[in-house]
Amino acid sequence: MNIGEKIRNAREDLDLSQEEVARQIPMSQSGYSKIERNVQEPSIMQLRRICQILNISADFLLSLNYFDNLSEADLNLLYDIKSAIKKHLDKSKA
């Protein structure tokens, strides 16, 4: 999931409109929409305000430290799962 999708999902979870969030940042609704659609990256100030408004962390949005605490065995398991899913999808396309 990319940054825009994470932001959109968090906004929708709070039942806020793009206009409401954009007003609080402050920025235009069209500019905010571009962030949610990954057409434009938010500035540091905009990112900070989005995190405050939607009560989410920048670490979550930027996928920082996502896998830092996983052991090598856990990472290998994730790789195996990813490979199995890819094989299944490849077979279903054929």
The number of angstroms, rounded, from the C-alpha of 19 to the middle of its chain's C-alpha atoms is: 19
List the CATH number of the domain containing 28. 1.10.260.40
- The answer to whether residues 55 and 70 belong to one domain is no
- The answer to whether residues 25 and 40 belong to one domain is yes
Domains: count for the chain? 2
Domain that includes residue 15, residue range: 3-62
- The answer to whether residues 42 and 83 belong to one domain is no
- The answer to whether residues 52 and 81 belong to one domain is no
pLDDT tens sequence for the chain (94 residues): 899 999 999 999 999 999 999 999 999 999 999 999 999 999 999 999 999 999 998 888 887 766 666 778 888 888 899 888 988 888 877 6
Structure tokens at 80: 């195996």
- Give, as one character, the DSSP assignment of residue 87: H
State the chain's maximal CA–CA distance in angstroms: 49
- What pTM does this model have? 0.67
